[in-house]
Chain A
């Protein structure tokens, strides 16, 4: 290394500050004339002026151009070419010390001291806001129990700062208004966009009556797998009713919607097969795909041209194995849907099978409650339709529908979650059956009319306030926030101000695209929607001010 190097900038800044400090001590309380009249003091100041000026002149060009707010010229002028006998250097230093040093010292220290040490923060809140769930996905260590601790520590920090949106509990029926307690025991009551009960069937007298009757006739328990003795006449009737709604005669019931998605995938797809899946399709389908085969291709959301290309590529190298193309009907965090007519057509052209998950749209949208498939006039024409009862049908459970008796029997046997789970309980089956009958009746049309009135009111009011509603009008109104910190703080405000909204973030949404998923019910009055939109808008503004955030929620 070359031993002859100029001093580094740090050293030079230190020298400038050191000379200034020494000059300050020397000047203390004296006037310029007193200093000049005192030989020692004059000498000291002259030396300080030389040191300060020399150091300032040596500061690198890089640093001067970067720290352009520092008056380098004033400092370099000090002591420049001043004869030893002249007092010019001392006077220049004196002027600098009185007019500029205070500001310069502050600016230099800002550049030289770690900025974060200047500010007090709540470490819990910082930790809670900074991290995302994916940070804890691969824990460390060989002890399966101990290695969950780090994640738990984060959850605790989020709980303490009330930024944990999960595990809230209901204190009463979740209608358009709900009473809830958060997981540190604080209660609130508010306008409820946090429950999935699109047609408000949870409170419907006929549905409650059907549940009571089934409870009376069969008791609370299904007492067996549907393949053993878990089914009842109610479940048979339900399969028939749903099959009629979808114009697909072969229905298989599952005890949960998750089980229906996962079971359909692992039942039908073999290891050599291929799954081509929308990258935002529901988690039960994503995980089912990965459990069934390593040949999983995630295509860009709704991009049918990329599906076409993938199918072409697969068929070019594999003409022997199956391809399952998977999409949601209504995407539950983006509120949009694919062109199913074209997608089914593309699948047929490449000998691929299409599976559509209609969990969120069936019953709540479309002519006669037939969802996105009905809206696109595809009833009975899609290869496989799967869904869940938990959004509109006031119950747990799910189904797979096809036009093939063989497919039905095969998935029942090999899907796992049908054969090896207890069946839907008689109460659940009765609730879903009654819900299906109502949603197909004129009353269903009335309820969907009310639901969409509230949906439009909410979307219009949020948009009018400059907020970004994603997707198209549907029972899900995703309000884009983006930044997780902003969403978490806004969510904390909403709790206090009486609006219940589920804040979704990773792993439900990709990181950096968090949002409020507002789920609308037929029981919501447009007035509820207007009031909620106002509170949401104000809460986001408050959160932005709290975090001093300049980021908006533009979609780009």
Chain B
């Protein structure tokens, strides 16, 4: 009998299992994969993501093989903003979520899952978690309506049954746990982006570049093995046309969003693997806990990749849920109260506002005149630029940036005007052109 069985051994699962085991609980973690192993992911970690790794003593291992930076560049229709997340906002965020801001770092990085997930799984094992790789869960064991364990097949093909006081579904967007329990989806936002990316060596992109033009976006972020994760994304309704010629359209999209990076990738870039893609990114929420089970990470709340917060949020969940379950397992509070606390954090009004923010961005509407002017206003206002980046990354509440007195003040204090930014020349006709699917025959 385990204290907890964690189904899924990646960002959410391995971290949860590790944290529970470090508190002295007996934990079994199972995953279908054998590690190192990849999974669809744009694998970006914002500073709060790396801060979690740092709190857990794993950041050094990641940064030993992964480039990291503190500043990034955001470009919207040619209007460039550079900055990083301020430490005080990071500290505030950790204090509010966890009541503890130890280990906060301002670095971000992009780490391949085959690298990161292996580090996490190993750390879970070192913490005392019983890790079973190549394990397929076939059934949830129940007593009445309560989940009490799992039945599954080991790597060797043996069928086994294991029981625990709680079963944790950390098995991603397509969660077996959620499907088996027939959990409903709430707040579904079906409009999302299609995203295609590849790994290119042959050039040095420096820090991360996140770019938008019209209805398309692109990101170039240095990652492991001397490569750059190079991503293009757009509205899912254009995906069908896009995939008629994936390599050609990939380059076309990159050229459109950033002619400079388009040129660099075309002339210097060496693609190291196939291109990967998905449009299976419609956002939703599921109930987070019930009799004998709890969900963490993408299994409980999935959002589009466009703000790249999935892994960071998985870490956040791991800390929240492991603290809650530890309180219960150690007898300090009843399970219901512990999980209600976890749910309150996950479903707070700030979380709702951020969910709305991401889902709205994922529609990939052309950037409006007022948005672009806001970006112009932010130029030369480093403090507010940094706060915008922190807001975009879910470090600072959306409500604090997008409140009337703040927006009016930024506007009043703007040191730049729209002069010198080509997008404002023929804004209306350009904006209309952007609605055209460039990949259509």
Interface residues of A (CB under 8 A from B): 1-2, 5-11, 60-63, 65-69, 110-112, 114-119, 130, 132, 134-141, 279-280, 283, 286-287, 290, 294, 296, 298, 480, 482-485, 506-513, 547-556
- Give the chain A neighbours of B187 by CB distance below 8 A: 547-551
Task: Decide if B172 touches A68 in the complex (CB within 8 Å).
Answer: yes
Task: Decide if B370 touches A138 in the complex (CB within 8 Å).
Answer: yes
The answer for the CA separation of A550 and B283 in the assembled complex, in Å, is: 13
Given contacts A137-B370, A556-B349, contact A68 B176 (CB under 8 A): yes
* Choice from A1, A7, A137, A483 contacting B271 with Cβ under 8 Å: A1
Indicate with 1 or 0, residue by residue over B25-54, a CB within 8 angstroms of chain A CB atoms: 000000011000111110000000000000
* Choice from A61, A118, A294, A508 contacting B37 with Cβ under 8 Å: A61
Q: How large is the interface on B (under 10, 10 to 19, 20 to 34, 35 or more residues)?
A: 35 or more
Task: Decide if A482 touches B352 in the complex (CB within 8 Å).
Answer: yes
Task: Decide if A68 touches B32 in the complex (CB within 8 Å).
Answer: yes
* Choice from B40, B173, B174, B398 contacting A511 with Cβ under 8 Å: B398
Given contacts A7-B274, A512-B356, A556-B349, contact A116 B191 (CB under 8 A): yes
- Give the chain B neighbours of A67 by CB distance below 8 A: 174, 280
The answer for the CA separation of A555 and B247 in the assembled complex, in Å, is: 47
Interface residues of B (CB under 8 A from A): 32-33, 37-41, 96, 171-174, 176, 179, 184-188, 190-192, 236-237, 239-240, 243, 246-247, 269-280, 282, 285-287, 343-345, 347-356, 360, 368-371, 373-374, 397-400, 402-409, 411-413, 427-428, 431
Task: Decide if A8 touches B280 in the complex (CB within 8 Å).
Answer: no
* Choice from A10, A60, A548 contacting B243 with Cβ under 8 Å: A10
- Give the chain B neighbours of A111 by CB distance below 8 A: 278-280
* Choice from A6, A130, A140, A552 contacting B360 with Cβ under 8 Å: A130
- Give the chain A neighbours of B400 by CB distance below 8 A: 510
The answer for the CA separation of A85 and B422 in the assembled complex, in Å, is: 67
Task: Decide if B407 touches A550 in the complex (CB within 8 Å).
Answer: no
The answer for the CA separation of A290 and B413 in the assembled complex, in Å, is: 10
The answer for the CA separation of A5 and B200 in the assembled complex, in Å, is: 13
Please give 9 more A-B residue pairs, beta carbons under 8 A apart, in addition to A5-B271, A138-B374, A140-B369: A2-B271, A69-B174, A116-B191, A130-B360, A138-B373, A480-B349, A509-B399, A510-B399, A512-B399
The answer for the CA separation of A377 and B247 in the assembled complex, in Å, is: 74
- Give the chain A neighbours of B347 by CB distance below 8 A: 550-552, 554
- Give the chain A neighbours of B192 by CB distance below 8 A: 114-116
The answer for the CA separation of A7 and B247 in the assembled complex, in Å, is: 11
Q: Which of A65, A296, A483 has the most CB of B within 10 A?
A: A65
- Give the chain B neighbours of A63 by CB distance below 8 A: 40, 276, 278
Q: Give the Cβ gap from A182 to chain B, nearest Cβ, in Å.
A: 25
Task: Decide if B398 touches A60 in the complex (CB within 8 Å).
Answer: no
The answer for the CA separation of A385 and B269 in the assembled complex, in Å, is: 66
Task: Decide if B172 touches A66 in the complex (CB within 8 Å).
Answer: yes
* Choice from A2, A8, A279 contacting B246 with Cβ under 8 Å: A8
Q: Which of B39, B282, B407, B411 has the most CB of A within 10 A?
A: B39
Residue on A nearest B136 in the bound complex, by CB: A73
Q: Give the Cβ gap from A11 to chain B, nearest Cβ, in Å.
A: 8
The answer for the CA separation of A1 and B230 in the assembled complex, in Å, is: 14
* Choice from B176, B237, B348, B355 contacting A555 with Cβ under 8 Å: B348
Closest A-B pairs by Cβ, 7 of them: A512-B353, A138-B370, A482-B349, A140-B369, A510-B403, A550-B186, A507-B404
Q: Give the Cβ gap from A136 to chain B, nearest Cβ, in Å.
A: 7
Q: Give the Cβ gap from A276 to chain B, nearest Cβ, in Å.
A: 13
15 intermolecular pairs with C-beta atoms under 8 Å apart: A10-B277, A65-B38, A66-B41, A69-B174, A114-B191, A117-B237, A279-B403, A286-B405, A483-B349, A512-B354, A513-B349, A513-B353, A551-B187, A551-B351, A552-B348
The answer for the CA separation of A66 and B217 in the assembled complex, in Å, is: 22
Task: Decide if B402 touches A511 in the complex (CB within 8 Å).
Answer: yes
* Choice from A5, A298, A551 contacting B409 with Cβ under 8 Å: A298
Task: Decide if B32 touches A556 in the complex (CB within 8 Å).
Answer: no
Q: Give the Cβ gap from A364 to chain B, nearest Cβ, in Å.
A: 25
Task: Decide if B399 touches A60 in the complex (CB within 8 Å).
Answer: no
The answer for the CA separation of A188 and B400 in the assembled complex, in Å, is: 36
Given contacts A69-B174, A139-B370, contact A119 B353 (CB under 8 A): no
- Give the chain A neighbours of B240 by CB distance below 8 A: 114
- Give the chain B neighbours of A286 by CB distance below 8 A: 404-405, 408
- Give the chain B neighbours of A62 by CB distance below 8 A: 38-41, 276
Given contacts A68-B172, A69-B176, A512-B353, contact A506 B190 (CB under 8 A): no
Given contacts A66-B39, A553-B349, contact A139 B344 (CB under 8 A): no
- Give the chain A neighbours of B351 by CB distance below 8 A: 551
* Choice from B32, B239, B368, B428 contacting A114 with Cβ under 8 Å: B239
Task: Decide if A114 touches B271 in the complex (CB within 8 Å).
Answer: no
- Give the chain B neighbours of A115 by CB distance below 8 A: 190-192, 236, 282
Task: Decide if B344 touches A556 in the complex (CB within 8 Å).
Answer: yes
The answer for the CA separation of A484 and B172 in the assembled complex, in Å, is: 28
The answer for the CA separation of A13 and B369 in the assembled complex, in Å, is: 40
Task: Decide if A279 touches B277 in the complex (CB within 8 Å).
Answer: no
* Choice from B277, B373, B409 contacting A290 with Cβ under 8 Å: B409
Residue on A nearest B287 in the bound complex, by CB: A550
Given contacts A66-B173, A140-B428, A294-B412, contact A2 B356 (CB under 8 A): no
